[in-house]
Amino acid sequence: MTNGSTEPLIVAQNLRKAFNQHIAVTGVDLAVHGGEIFGFLGPNGAGKTTTIKMLIGLLRPTSGSAYIGGYDIHANPIQAKALLGYVPDEPALPDKLTAREFLQFIGGLYRVPAEQVERRGAELFKLFDLQSQANELVGGFSHGMRQKVALAGALLHDPPVLFLDEPTVGLDPRSARLIKDILRQLAARGTAVFLTTHILEIAERLCDRVAIIARGQVIAAGTLNELRQGSSGASLEDIFLSLTGGAEYAEIADVLA
């Protein structure tokens, strides 16, 4: 579901990353428009996190380009990074800052006016039910609470592009549902949402388009209907397993049972 915006907010052109002799990711081309939730699926070790890190500038690609809002993330990093927010799969946050101080720190880095930091911070704490923990040190938070604090930090400056790496892993059902609802609302407001996941149910219910990556290469991309073409109504799980080569493991699973 796009929002009338013609230029994609996230563009990857032939992204490639090699670590010594090992090719982690190769030939990744994709485009995500504003208002779209794009799912990047793949088995463990497929290259999802490597791809997302190249898109947001945490990793330099061996070749290829990545653009955020029209800015090359590596040639114009400041302009590009000002447009994006990122939530890692395991957010490492400064343990000795309180949640409130962390948001103030993020606000300073992204040049968000102090009044906006306070107002938006209060809204986000209320939304994530963190009001009573706002003055507690992040070091004592559970994984789910850290995830929420990291998401609050990513949303503080109201970015038009949001990247999430495995956003619902480790969250209780209520929190996972909350994040899904937030992502839908953000997309409805025109934000381009790029998320990686290996939970297919999330992709089926949330994503407008998906790409499936396996062994460093995108092997399928499109809407769910496009992916289902020729598969006579198969589920995303069946499509995923047939593309990534997981279907034959069912026999092994039978043996172990």
Residue 95 touching other proteins (CB under 8 A): yes
Q: How far is the CB of 54 from other proteins (least distance, A)?
A: 10
Radius of gyration of the chain (CA): 19
CA distance 77 to 150: 21
Give the torsion through C-alpha atoms of 103, 104, 106, 108, to 10 deg.
Answer: 160
Angle at 142 between CA 136 and CA 148, to 5 degrees: 80
CA distance 65 to 52: 12
Among 70, 116, 131, 139, binds other proteins (CB under 8 A): 139
Closer CB to other proteins, 119 or 126, in the complex: 119
Span of 4-12, 22-30, 96-104, 200-208 interacting with other proteins by CB under 8 A:
96-104
Residue 167 touching other proteins (CB under 8 A): no
Closer CB to other proteins, 112 or 241, in the complex: 112
Span of 82-90, 170-178, 206-214, 231-239 interacting with other proteins by CB under 8 A:
82-90
Among 9, 28, 117, 192, binds other proteins (CB under 8 A): 117
Residue 18 touching other proteins (CB under 8 A): no
Span of 39-47, 88-96, 182-190, 219-227 interacting with other proteins by CB under 8 A:
88-96
Closer CB to other proteins, 93 or 200, in the complex: 93
Residue 141 touching other proteins (CB under 8 A): yes
Residue 53 touching other proteins (CB under 8 A): yes
Measured from the Cβ of residue 177, the count of other Cβ atoms closer than 10 Å reads: 12
CA distance 157 to 68: 16
β-strand 161-165 against 192-197: which pairing, if any? Answer: parallel
Alpha-carbon distances of 231 from 5, 9, 185, rounded to whole Å: 32, 31, 31
Q: How far is the CB of 138 from other proteins (least distance, A)?
A: 6
Residue 58 touching other proteins (CB under 8 A): yes
Alpha-carbon distances of 101 from 110, 113, 138, 139, rounded to whole Å: 14, 15, 10, 13
CA distance 68 to 80: 5
Residue 88 touching other proteins (CB under 8 A): yes
Residue 122: HSE in the Cβ half-sphere, 13 Å Cα cutoff: 5
Residue 170 touching other proteins (CB under 8 A): no
Span of 40-48, 91-99, 193-201, 238-246 interacting with other proteins by CB under 8 A:
91-99
Residues that bind other proteins (CB under 8 A): 53, 56-60, 77-82, 86, 88, 92-98, 100-101, 104-111, 113-115, 117-118, 135-141, 153
